[in-house]
Each structure stands twice: as C-alpha cells, then as structure tokens.
Structure 1
Amino acid sequence: MTVHRDTLAALKGTLARLERGAMPSASPHVSLGPPGLDALLGGGLARAALHEIFAASPAHGPSATGFALGLALRAAPSAPVVWIRQRMLDQEFGRPYGHGIAALGLDPGRLVLVRARDAEAVLKATHDAVRCGAVGVVLAEIWGMPRALDLTASRRLSLAAAASGVTLVATRTAGVPAPSAAQSRWQVRALVSEAGEGGLPGLPAFLVTLLRHRAGIPQRDWPMEWDREHRRFRERAALPRRLDALPGDGAAAPQAPALPLRRAG
C-alpha cells in the first residue's frame, strides 16, 4: 500500500507538534463563514496546506490582499501572522497601513511584516516561516510571473505547511494561474460596498471565484462581504436582475415599440 507524500508529511507534522506538547487544531478546516460555501468545501479551507489567491487584474490587487487577510484572521484568530510582501507591491499600492489592518480586525501587534526585494527572496522567507509551528498563518504576496515560483517550489511549500501545521496563503498580483501543488485556487475582484446606516462606509466587498480545488469542486462565484465585528465572511445577496434607469421625474421610461417581424429569404 502506497502512502501519499503529503499525507505522510502531515502525519510527521502532527507527531512533531504532539512531542512539543502542542495539541492539534480542533478542526482540520478553516470555516469562512457562509454556510453554503463551507458545506461545498467540506467544512472550509484545509489547514496545513497551500492556498492561492489571484487578483483578477492588477487594479484588484488590494482587494486580493484584503481577502487574504480575512482568511488569515479566520485561520489564526490569536496566533502570530507572518506577512511576507514583495517590495513591488509597495511601489504599486503603498505600504500596509496599521490603522487599516486594525479596522479589519487584525491586531498589528501580532503581525510580523517582512518586505522582500524580489520573488526569490519572498519564497525563501516563506519557506523559513512556514516551517515554524508557532506561526498561525503565513501570507506571501508575489508580483508577476517569476520563474522561481514553479511547480517544484509550490510542492516544497505545500510539504513544509503539511509538516508544520501552518496554513499558507499565497497572493498573486499581475500573474496568471499555472500548475502548482496548491490545495485551492481563488480569484478576487473588488465590489462596490453598500453604504451603512447614516451613510457610513460599508463593509469591504469581494467577488470571489473558486478556480480550482483538489477535491474536484466545480468553479463558482461568491459575492461576499467581510464582517469586521464578527471577523467572518458573509455572503452578499446579488441583485436578481439588471435595474433599468429611471428619468429624472421618477416616471418609468417608455418602452421602445417592437419592430414588426419580416420573413427572410
């Protein structure tokens, strides 16, 4: 009987944590919040695994980062979070803002932020961080399509996550999906937030697409919001149909007359 390498690595990681006196997580999955999505994923995202998040376009990079931070909060409500970020992202979107991170619900005091000069440095720091069992989540952000991030590199990261029990979230901006050992792959684009009561700013909103899952789950879209108060995602109700524009006086716009049918040929 052949044992899959990922399964063997996960078993070794569990034994190592037990030897250090640490108990494994009560659940092997990370609940995202929406019941339908969690049920489709078999309970949520797998812990101790690699998950990829792709921005739909470079303009949606900050939204992909926000979604990844939400996943980190769901996976590690109190454990340290290591955020490794390629400097190119700082040049494009600016550096992470502490007050904004706190507004999402993540205490900056338990965040370790690493700025790496290029993708190779991000991968090296990520591999070192994900091997530390004391870390709750490692968030790695990479720009573009670097050669160093190939199938072999993703396998090394996936095996390291399985051995340590650390959940790894890799966010990609200005890149396209390629073969990897990731447990799941997602695409994120920004949605317009709905204003709160009294015109207050609404909740961060995302259109999240499951592109690939190793369990063979079909592709599907979810419009979601991040509930900062309860630190969870919730499904956002989509409009049932396109709304027609109304003229300034509030009267319904007249319908254009139907053209008569004519036999062709």
Structure 2
Amino acid sequence: MPSSSEVTLAALRKAISGLDPDVPGRGADLFQFGVPALDAALGGGLACGALHEIYARAAQDEAAASGFGLALALRAAHGRSILWARQDLVDVEAGGLYGDGLAAFGADPKRLLVVRARDPTGVLRAAAEAARCAALGAALVEIWSEPKALDLKASRRLALAAGVSGVTVVMIRLGASPAPSAATSRWSVSASASTPLEANAPGRPAFDAALLRHRAGLGPRTWRVEWDRDRASFEFAPLSRAVVSVPAHGPAAADAGAPWRRAG
C-alpha cells in the first residue's frame, strides 16, 4: 500500500501535468522588478529558471518576506500558474494563507497550486516536482528554521532542475539565518512604512529589500520598494517619515491587508 506522501506526490504530478506549457512568457532569460533603476543595477533583472532565496530579517518580518517572495514569483510567472509549497509549521508560526488577501495582493487564487507538507523533506519533494515542470511559471517554497534536509546539495538539485525547465524557484526562509546555497540571489527583507493613499487610506505593501548575494558579483545594497497590485509591479517608495516597527501578530499586522492571517 502506498504511503500518504506517495499518494500526495502522485496527486501533485497529476495536477501539474494538466497545465498548458504553451503560454507566452516562456523563454525569457530575466524577469524584472519593474523599476528601471533597480533592474539596471541588477544587470537587467533577476534570472529566470534559477533559485532565489529570501530571508525574513526578524521574526516580525515573516509576512513581509512571504509577500516579497510572492511578488517576485508573480513577476517571474508572467501570468502562468504558481505552485506554493509550505511546511505545516509555517502556518503555525507565521500564519496561514488567506484567499481574499491573496486576491487583494494581486495574486489570482485560481493560478495558485498550494501544497502543504508536514516536514521539510515533503516540502522539498514537492518543490523538486515543481522545479521540473516547465508548465509552471514559478514555484514558491516556504520552510521553517534550518532543517538538515535543506543543505547545499538539496539547493543544488533545485537550482539544476530550475535551470533545465526554466521554472523560477523562490525559496522563503523563515526563522533562519543566511547560509551557503546554490541560490543565484539572496535577499534579506523587512517590512517598511508605506505611503498613505488618498483620504489617508492604508498604503501599498512596502519592503526594505537588501541584496545579500548575487552570482554575477554585485555588491550588497538595499532598496525600499512598494508593490503595486494593479500593475503587478514594484516601484520606488521615497521615505518621507520615520519607520515605526509594526507588531508581528497584533491588530496593526491584520489591518495591513497581508495575504495571510494567523490561524488558531
């Protein structure tokens, strides 16, 4: 009798095998943030068909890291489907995905395939399947802490699979510190104060994104950007006032319109 993990993987293979690979956007070497100066600093953008890592700078920045990762995946996917593999512990520690919030962020829930696994090994298996499926636009991977299963060899396997298929893999690291990997770029992300909209309405999601490493040899640097859901693009956000830290799990976090909410 097959194990539950084998049944889950079989279902995942069946789901992604039904996707249409012949969608415009395949074959691009780079995907862009949508901010000309930022993209120019990155040599035109970030590599498609590669592994990119995003670390939450602190515990209160977990939602920001996930939001930044989702935004990168949306940029890389060019309208194609995205597979999101999450460890169950991420839901417990950082909050579960929320459909209305995802839609408000600009992510069409119909284009998201969400896979949940109990342990890091299960998440990595799902990520490997996604990285090999050329019909996907991107794969998001969320793993909690620093499991032994996610070593340099595991990251190399993901990077190699992504390079063959052209699927961009964005790995979101929560509760972890930067470590050696095969990632093409590595980022540290924290939440930032957004610019209020008309009538003092809540502003767009804002991030302080620090580039820690880039295989092209680019030096560390930091940008402050906001996410425009209508254009599905980033843009620079000038800092007009002091940044105030936001409670990680308090009412302010809930009011910010994050596409995930704390469960339990």
How far the C-alpha of 1:65 sits from its partner, in A, is: 0.5
TM-score (norm 1): 0.80
2:173 counterpart residue number = 172
Deviations 1:69-119 (A, max 9, x none): 111111113211000011111012321000110011111011000111111
Deviations 1:130-159 (A, max 9, x none): 111111100000110111111111110000
- Of structures 1 and 2, the one with the larger relative CO (CA 8 A, separation 6+) is 2
1:12 counterpart residue number = none
Change (3 A) 1:39 1:102: same
2:151 counterpart residue number = 150
Task: Give the Cα–Cα distance (whole angstroms) in 1 for the partners of residues 153 and 133 of structure 2.
Answer: 21
Task: Give the Cα–Cα distance (whole angstroms) in 1 for the partners of residues 169 and 58 of structure 2.
Answer: 22
Change (3 A) 1:158 1:26: closer
Q: Given the alignment of the two structures, is residue 116 of structure 1 paired with residue 110 of structure 2, yes or no?
A: no
TM-score (norm 2): 0.81
How many pairs are equivalent? 223
Output aligned runs, 1:93-242, within 5 Å.
93-239=94-240
Task: Give the Cα–Cα distance (whole angstroms) in 2 for the partners of residues 242 and 80 of structure 1.
Answer: 38
Q: Secondary structure at the match of 1:226?
A: strand
Task: Give the Cα–Cα distance (whole angstroms) in 2 for the partners of residues 105 and 132 of structure 1.
Answer: 23
1:77 counterpart residue number = 78
State the one-letter code of the partner of 2:120.
Answer: A
Change (3 A) 1:178 1:71: same
How far the C-alpha of 1:25 sits from its partner, in A, is: 3.1
Unaligned runs of 5+ in 1: 1-19, 244-265
Change (3 A) 1:231 1:21: closer
Task: Give the Cα–Cα distance (whole angstroms) in 2 for the partners of residues 75 and 113 of structure 1.
Answer: 17
State the one-letter code of the partner of 1:114.
Answer: V
Output aligned runs, 1:32-71, within 5 Å.
32-71=33-72
State the one-letter code of the partner of 2:163.
Answer: A
State the one-letter code of the partner of 2:232.
Answer: R
Change (3 A) 1:163 1:24: farther
Q: Secondary structure at the match of 2:96?
A: coil
Deviations 1:12-48 (A, max 9, x none): xxxxxxxx97887353100101111100111101000
Q: Secondary structure at the match of 2:158?
A: helix
The structure 1 segments of at least 4 consecutive aligned residues displaced by more than 6 Å after TM superposition are 20-24
2:10 counterpart residue number = none
State the one-letter code of the partner of 1:83.
Answer: W
How far the C-alpha of 1:229 sits from its partner, in A, is: 1.1
Task: Give the Cα–Cα distance (whole angstroms) in 2 for the partners of residues 119 and 59 of structure 1.
Answer: 22
- Aligned-residue identity in percent: 50
For the Cα contact (< 8 Å) 2:35–2:236, is it kept in 1?
yes
Deviations 1:163-182 (A, max 9, x none): 11100000000101111110
Unaligned runs of 5+ in 2: 1-20, 244-264
Structure 1 vs Structure 2 CA RMSD: 1.8
Larger Rg belongs to: 1
Task: Give the Cα–Cα distance (whole angstroms) in 2 for the partners of residues 24 and 64 of structure 1.
Answer: 25
Deviations 1:223-243 (A, max 9, x none): 10001111100011134x979
Change (3 A) 1:237 1:43: same
For the Cα contact (< 8 Å) 2:22–2:135, is it kept in 1?
no
